[in-house]
Amino acid sequence: MLRLFFLTLFLLTSCDVPEAPKEYKPAPPKVHVQTVNDELPWQPPMLRPQFKQSDFSGLPAFMKPRPSVYSKRMWKIITRIIDEIIQIRRHLHQTPELAHREVKTARYVMEQLKSMGLLPRGPVGLT
């Protein structure tokens, strides 16, 4: 019995006292400030100075991006109606809907197509 007492006493006195736990300090939340500069001139990616053809050296020739008459014509149309495209995108993002229940989105797209002179078929929504 005396041995057990001394063994317990030895074990208790030989152990180091653990350090106090360090206080947890959460990191301050990161604030991402998004800046939009609408005054910058819009350029298609292939005409930007930082666009490098060498970035696509591993692709087959038919997959490499290349400017063509059609892409230049397309970018001219896009730059002409860019404000309208931005307005449509903002409207769609301001009215989110559940997947496969996009009734308002489908109705809005149908109205846009009708205003362009197209005749979309319906009913739409609940895709």
How confident is the model over 83-97, as pLDDT tens digits?
A: 999 999 999 999 998
The pLDDT, as a whole number, for residue 47 is: 65
Using DSSP, state whether 8 is helix, strand or coil. Answer: helix
pLDDT(76) > 60: yes
Q: What is the mean pLDDT of residues 58-62?
A: 75
- Neighbouring residues of 114: CB distance < 8 A, sequence distance ≥ 6: 120
pLDDT(70) > 80: no
- For the question of whether the overall pTM of this predicted structure is more than 0.85, the answer is no
pLDDT(3) > 70: yes
How far apart CA 22 and CA 13 sit, in angstroms, is 24
